[in-house]
Amino acid sequence: MKTNATFKNEALAALKGNWTSAVLAVLLFALIEGVTIGPYSYQSVQLQNTIQTQMSGLSRSRMDSILTNPEIMEAQRKASGASSLYTILAILVIMPLTVGMTNAFHRLLTEKEGNVARNMFSIALDNYWHKVWGMLLMHIFISLWTLLLIIPGIIKAFSYAMTPYILEEFPELGANDAIDRSRAMMHGHKFDLFYLYLGFLGWGILCLFTAGIGFLWLVPYMETAQASFYEEVKADYTLNGGLI
C-alpha cells in the first residue's frame, strides 16, 4: 500500500496547472447544492427552532395547545413538504453530481483531463439513472447500518466509499454489484482510507478560519488523493484475484 504522502504528492502533481478548473468545479457543486436543497433545509430548521422556542418552559397542557395551533400545524405541513422536496432533490441532483465530481478528479489523475467542471456535469448525466440508483442504494444501506449503531454505519460508509468510481468505470455492473465490489476492494483497507482522511484534518481546521473559502482548494486536493487511493485498492483487488 502506498503511503499517504505518495497519494498526496500524486494529487498535487495532477492538480498542477489545473487548480482553476478544480476550484471552479467545487464552487459550482456547492452553489448547486445550496440552491437546490439549501432553502428547504433552512425552512425545516427554522420551524423546529420556532416550535422549541414557543414550548420552552411551558406546561404539558400548554405544549399540546401550541402543537395543535393552526399556524404551527400549517408550518409543520410546509416543513414536511420541504423535507420531502429536499430528499427528492438530493437524490436526483446531488447524488449523481457527486459521482460526477468524484470521477472528474479521477480522470484528472489518470487521464490528465484538466476540464474538471465540464467533466463533472458530463459524467453525472451519462448513464444518469444507473448512478442515481447506485448512490441511493448505497445511502440506504449505510442508513440501515447506522440505525443499528453509529459505528457500524461509519464502517460501512468506508466500505462502500469506492462505489462512485465503480458506477462510472464499470457501468455494466448493477448497482448492488458495484456496492459489493467496493466492499471487496476495501476489505483490509478501510482504516487506510480513514488514515488518509485524517491526514487532511489539520488543513480542514485551517479552512474554518477562512470562513470556509479554503475548502474550495482542500476538496480538490482530497478528491484527487482519494482517486489515487482508488487506483491503489483496485490494483490490490486485481492482484489478489478480483475480477475487473
- pLDDT tens string, the chain, 244 residues long: the values are 889 999 999 999 999 999 999 999 999 999 998 888 766 666 666 666 666 665 555 555 555 555 566 655 666 666 566 667 778 888 999 999 999 999 999 999 999 998 999 999 999 999 999 999 999 999 999 999 988 888 888 999 999 999 999 999 999 999 999 999 999 999 999 999 999 999 999 999 999 999 999 999 999 999 999 999 999 999 999 888 765 4
Instruction: Specify if 8 maps to a domain.
Output: yes
Instruction: Specify if 234 maps to a domain.
Output: yes
Other CB atoms within 10 Å distance of the CB of residue 150: 10
Give how many domains the chain has, as a whole number. 1
Instruction: Specify if 135 maps to a domain.
Output: yes
Q: Which residues have CB under 8 Å from 81's CB, separation 6+?
A: none
Contact between residue 63 and residue 55 where contact means Cβ atoms under 8 Å apart? yes
Instruction: Specify if 188 maps to a domain.
Output: yes
Statement: the pTM of the whole predicted model exceeds 0.95: no
* Alpha carbons 55 and 222: distance in angstroms, whole number: 43
* Alpha carbons 46 and 31: distance in angstroms, whole number: 21
| CA dist 213 → 46, 198, 218 (Å) | 25, 20, 9
Instruction: Specify if 172 maps to a domain.
Output: yes
Instruction: Specify if 81 maps to a domain.
Output: yes
* Alpha carbons 115 and 213: distance in angstroms, whole number: 21
Instruction: Specify if 244 maps to a domain.
Output: no
The pLDDT of residue 244 is 47
Instruction: Specify if 243 maps to a domain.
Output: no
Range of the domain at 64: 4-238
